[in-house]
Amino acid sequence: MSRSITLEQSQAIIEACRSEATTIGQPMNIAVVDDAGHLVAFAAMDDTKLIGEDISQKKALTAVYFQMDTRDLAPLVQPGQPLYGIEATTTGKLVVFGGGVLLRGADGRIAGGVGVSAGSVDEDHQVAEAGRKVFA
Amino acid sequence: MSRSITLEQSQAIIEACRSEATTIGQPMNIAVVDDAGHLVAFAAMDDTKLIGEDISQKKALTAVYFQMDTRDLAPLVQPGQPLYGIEATTTGKLVVFGGGVLLRGADGRIAGGVGVSAGSVDEDHQVAEAGRKVFA
Amino acid sequence: MSRSITLEQSQAIIEACRSEATTIGQPMNIAVVDDAGHLVAFAAMDDTKLIGEDISQKKALTAVYFQMDTRDLAPLVQPGQPLYGIEATTTGKLVVFGGGVLLRGADGRIAGGVGVSAGSVDEDHQVAEAGRKVFA
Amino acid sequence: MSRSITLEQSQAIIEACRSEATTIGQPMNIAVVDDAGHLVAFAAMDDTKLIGEDISQKKALTAVYFQMDTRDLAPLVQPGQPLYGIEATTTGKLVVFGGGVLLRGADGRIAGGVGVSAGSVDEDHQVAEAGRKVFA
C-alpha cells in the first residue's frame, strides 16, 4: 500500500488546523484521511466537545467519498433536492454539512480529506481550510 | 478513572425527576450519564413507555456530547438549518429534541447529563430540569 | 404494560447488590431487567470499571432470554459443546459466563434478571445472588 | 469536561511509539484514548496495514475498560477459562490480545490507554510500552 498522503503531511495539516482553531478560540477535533477514506491522523484539542470525535472523522471521509467539500452537500440534501435522504444511507458514515474539505495533490489527483468538528459549521470549515492550505 | 458525578448524586437526580414525573402524572425513563457519556444511573418508572429506555439514555449522552440541552438542538437540525441531517450520523446515538439537559459543577465544568423520555418533549424537559436543580 | 418487576423492587435489588459489593471491596455495575429483557434500573458504583456498563446489562438480559443463570451457560458454549458459538449470535447481546441471575416470583413465573460486572466471574455472581435474595 | 490526558501528552506518546516502531522496522497504527475511552490522538505510519486502523483504537479502549493491559486478557478468554466468549459482547469493541496498555498518572489514577496494531502481538505490545514510558 502506498498512501496518497503521508503521516508527516497529515500531522502538518493538523498543526495548521490547531493553530487556526486556537486563533478563533474554539478547541476542535481534527481528522485527516487518505484517498480511500482511512484515518491517517487525528487530534482532539483539550476542552473540545465529544461530539466531534466521531463527526470530524466522518466529515473527512464524506469529502473523499463525494470528492467535494461537505458544505457543498448541504443544499443537495434538503427536502425536494436531488440527494434528499442520503445521510441515512451507508449506516451513519456521512455528514452533510460543512467542516470536511477535499485534498488534491499538485497533479490534481485526490489525496485525502480533512474533517473538523466542535464549533459552528462555518468555524469548522474555516479551520479545515487552514489545513488544506498547507497541503496544496 | 475519577468520575465527574457520583452514584449518590445521580440517584438524587433520579429521585427528583421521579417526584416531578409523579406530579405531572407521566411515568418516565430517567438516565444520568457522566461527562464522557457513560451511564451512571437509570430508572424506568412503573407503566412508562418502552421507547424511553433507549431515548432517555441517548438524550443524556447527546447533551454531554454537544455541551448543551437537547431542546436547543431542535432548531439547528431543521431543513435548511446548519446541522440538518446530523441525527443520521454517529449511528443512531443522537437525539435532536428536548428532554436531555447538561449538568455543570459549581466550578462551571461539565459534570454529566440527564435524559428523560416517555411524555411530550416539554414534559420530558421539565422532568429533566427538576433533576438538574438538585445537582447544581 | 404491566411490568413483571417494579422500580421499587429493582432499586431494592440494586441496594442489596451494592451492599454486598462494598463488603467484598469491588465496586460494580449493577443492572435489573424485566421479564422481557428491558432495563428497569441501573447503577454504576464509584470507581468501577467501564467494561461493566455494557456487560452487566447484557448479563441480566441473557439470564432472562435463556431462563437460567449465565454461569450455567459457560459449559454449554465451549468448543465441542451443544451451544458452541452462540455468543456470536444476536449481535453481541449475549454474555456466556457468570454474573447474570434469573429472578422468579413467588408463583415461579419469571420476573426478570440481575446482571453484575466489574470483578471476577465468581464475585459478579455472588453480588448478583445477593440481589436475588431480597427479591425472592 | 476535563480530560485525564492532554493532546500534548498524547502526541508525545505517539512520537515515542513511532520511534520504537521505526527501530524494529514495523510501521504501526497508534491510538491514544482518555480515561473514558474517547480518542485523543491517532497516527498511521506510512506503509502500515489497514487492519490496525480499527484494532489499535479498540486495543486502547479495551485497556481502559478493563483497567489492564490487553495481553493479560488473552489467557482469561481461552476455551474453558472464565471470560471465554467475552470478545463477542459489546458489538466488536473489544480486543483480547496484546498491544493495548493502560496509562496511570503519578497519583495512580487511570489516565487513558495506548493501542498499537500492525505487527506481531509482541511487537505491538513493545511499541505501546515505549509510549507508556514517556507518560509515567
Give yes or no for a contact between A103 and A113, defined as CB atoms under 8 angstroms apart.
yes
pLDDT at residue D1, rounded to an integer: 53
Chain D within 8 Å of B35 (Cβ-Cβ)? Answer: yes
- Asked if residue A19 is part of any domain, the answer here is yes
- Asked if residue B116 is part of any domain, the answer here is yes
Give burial (CB, 10 Å; 0-12/13-18/19+) of A106. Answer: exposed
Q: Which three three-digit cell numbers place residue B66? A: 454537544
Binned at pLDDT 50, 70 and 90, residue D74 comes out as very high
Give yes or no for a contact between C94 and C55, defined as CB atoms under 8 angstroms apart.
no
Quote the minimal CA–CA distance from B112 to chain A in Å.
12
Q: Cα(first)–Cα(last) distance of chain A, in Å?
A: 22
Q: Do D47 and A2 lie within an 8 Å CB cutoff?
A: yes
Binned at pLDDT 50, 70 and 90, residue C89 comes out as confident
Give yes or no for a contact between C130 and C31, defined as CB atoms under 8 angstroms apart.
no
Chain D within 8 Å of C68 (Cβ-Cβ)? Answer: no
Residue D91 has its nearest CB partner, among C49, C74, C92, at C92
* Alpha-carbon gap, residue A32 to A63, rounded angstroms: 11
SS3 B22: helix
- Asked if residue C120 is part of any domain, the answer here is yes
The angle subtended at Cα D52 by Cα D50 and Cα D57, nearest 5°, is 130
Domain count along chain B? 1
- Asked if residue B1 is part of any domain, the answer here is no
Residue A1 pLDDT > 60:
no
Residue D39 has its nearest CB partner, among A38, A47, A53, at A53
Quote the minimal CA–CA distance from C95 to chain D in Å.
6
Ordered alpha helix ranges (H), chain C? 7-24, 51-66, 121-135
State the average pLDDT for chain C. 95
Which amino acid, residue B80?
Answer: G
Chains that touch B (3 or more CB pairs under 8 A): A, C, D
pLDDT at residue C8, rounded to an integer: 98
- Asked if residue D1 is part of any domain, the answer here is no
- Asked if residue D94 is part of any domain, the answer here is yes
Q: Tell me the Ramachandran region of residue C84: left when phi exceeds 0, alpha when psi lies from -120 to 50, beta otherwise.
A: beta
In order of A108, B83, C63, the CA distances from D54 in angstroms are 29, 27, 31
- Asked if residue C1 is part of any domain, the answer here is no
**Which of D27, D92, D107, D25 is closest to D61 using CA atoms?**
D92
Q: Do A41 and D44 lie within an 8 Å CB cutoff?
A: yes
Binned at pLDDT 50, 70 and 90, residue C1 comes out as low
Domain range enclosing C54: 7-135
Q: How many other C-beta atoms can be found within 10 angstroms of the C-beta atom of residue C74? A: 21
SS3 A107: coil
pLDDT at residue B1, rounded to an integer: 54
Give yes or no for a contact between C111 and C35, defined as CB atoms under 8 angstroms apart.
yes
Chain D within 8 Å of A30 (Cβ-Cβ)? Answer: no
Q: Do C7 and B43 lie within an 8 Å CB cutoff?
A: yes
* DSSP bridge pairs for A117: A29
pLDDT in tens, C14-63: 999 999 999 999 999 999 999 999 999 999 999 999 999 999 999 999 99
Residue C82 pLDDT > 70:
yes
- Asked if residue D116 is part of any domain, the answer here is yes
pLDDT at residue B5, rounded to an integer: 97
Question: What CATH number did the domain enclosing D33 receive?
Answer: 3.30.450.150
In order of B55, C14, C21, the CA distances from C8 in angstroms are 22, 10, 20
Chain C within 8 Å of B91 (Cβ-Cβ)? Answer: no
Give the count of Cβ contacts less than 8 A between chain B and C: 50
Residue C136 pLDDT > 80:
no
* Alpha-carbon gap, residue A102 to C87, rounded angstroms: 41
Ordered alpha helix ranges (H), chain A? 7-24, 51-66, 121-135
Contacts of B37 in chain A (CB under 8 A): 50
Chain A within 8 Å of B58 (Cβ-Cβ)? Answer: no
pLDDT in tens, A61-112: 999 999 999 999 999 999 999 999 998 887 789 999 999 999 999 999 999 9
ipTM: 0.95
SS3 C21: helix
What residues of chain B score a pLDDT lower than 50? Answer: none
Give yes or no for a contact between A37 and A65, defined as CB atoms under 8 angstroms apart.
yes
Q: Which three three-digit cell numbers place residue A31? A: 481528522
Q: Considering only alpha carbons, which residue of chain D is nearest residue A5?
A: D46
**Which of A77, A74, A68 is closest to A101 using CA atoms?**
A68
Contacts of B1 in chain D (CB under 8 A): 4, 35-36, 64, 67, 109-110
